[in-house]
Amino acid sequence: MLIKNIVRWVARLFVWMGRNAALLTAASSMLIAAASLYYAVDAQRTDREYKEVAIQPRMWLGGDWEDLSLTYINTGLGPAIIDSVVLKVGDKCKSTNDFEPDEWAEVFTDFVNENLDELYSKTLPPMPWVRGGKQKYNVQINVLRVGDSVRPGDKKFIIRLDPGTLKELVKIDSTELLGARQKFSAAAFKLPIRIVACSATGRTCGVIGRAAACPGFGAEFEKRS
């Protein structure tokens, strides 16, 4: 009895399909078209992701003992574009988003002057020119601005000891220098600066710098990502 019912149901199905062949053909065509569109879109998305990975920057920020600098380096595959910078000056967090370029240069200089002692005076051993009465280290400043780019493999300093002062430093006993190097690296890591750098397309961004410097910084980056 069951087999007869199955055979009867199958026969009715074939009859229905024969009567609605045009409808079935149209529906099949739509399904095939929809599947093709899905796979085409997915293939394009995968291709974009692959290309994005191929141009992603990878930024590092820290102390570079070679020239005694606070330096950022791009070790990724594509150029890094600076999207925003936040500094802690005094007890306030200040962002490139809130200042005109000329005003930002002043803010950046204030940040450098405020942190010179932490970065140099408290990490390097006493040197002849300090004993001679000189109170400040000679440094060079590279103001970090929105839109600055770093090519793969390149590094740029933010603050560094000027070449003349650096020459005096290397005259110091190597044992003293080893301890100074460790202190300098730790001090550079603690400086209150945060940087958002993005890929050339702007689709991939990353944050480097001290997380505790300005806890609220990076909210817009997190949402965008």
pLDDT in the model for residue 225:
41
Q: pLDDT, tens digit, for every residue of 117-130?
A: 888 888 887 766 55
C-alpha separations of 142 from 8, 84, 145, 157, 167 in Å = 86, 15, 9, 6, 20
pLDDT in the model for residue 130:
57
Label the pairing between strands 193-198 and 80-89: antiparallel
pLDDT in the model for residue 82:
94
- pLDDT of 213 strictly over 50: yes
Query: Do you know the residue count of the chain?
Result: 225
Sign of CA dihedral 126, 128, 133, 134: negative
Label the pairing between strands 155-161 and 139-141: antiparallel
Overall average pLDDT of the 88-102 stretch: 89
User: Which candidate, 134, 96, 141, places its Cα nearest to that of 114?
Assistant: 141
Question: Please, which residues bridge with residue 158 across strands?
Answer: none
Overall average pLDDT of the 165-187 stretch: 81
pLDDT in the model for residue 217:
55
Residue position matching structure tokens 């740029």:
156
CB 216 within 8 A of CB 88: no
Q: pLDDT, tens digit, for every residue of 29-39?
A: 777 777 777 76
Q: What is the pTM of this model?
A: 0.72
pLDDT in the model for residue 65:
86
**30 compared with 102, residue with greater pLDDT:** 102
pLDDT in the model for residue 60:
92
Percent above pLDDT 90 for the chain: 28
Overall average pLDDT of the 74-79 stretch: 91
- pLDDT of 192 strictly over 70: yes
Query: Of 1-5, 104-108, 137-141, which range is least confident?
Result: 1-5
Overall average pLDDT of the 219-225 stretch: 44
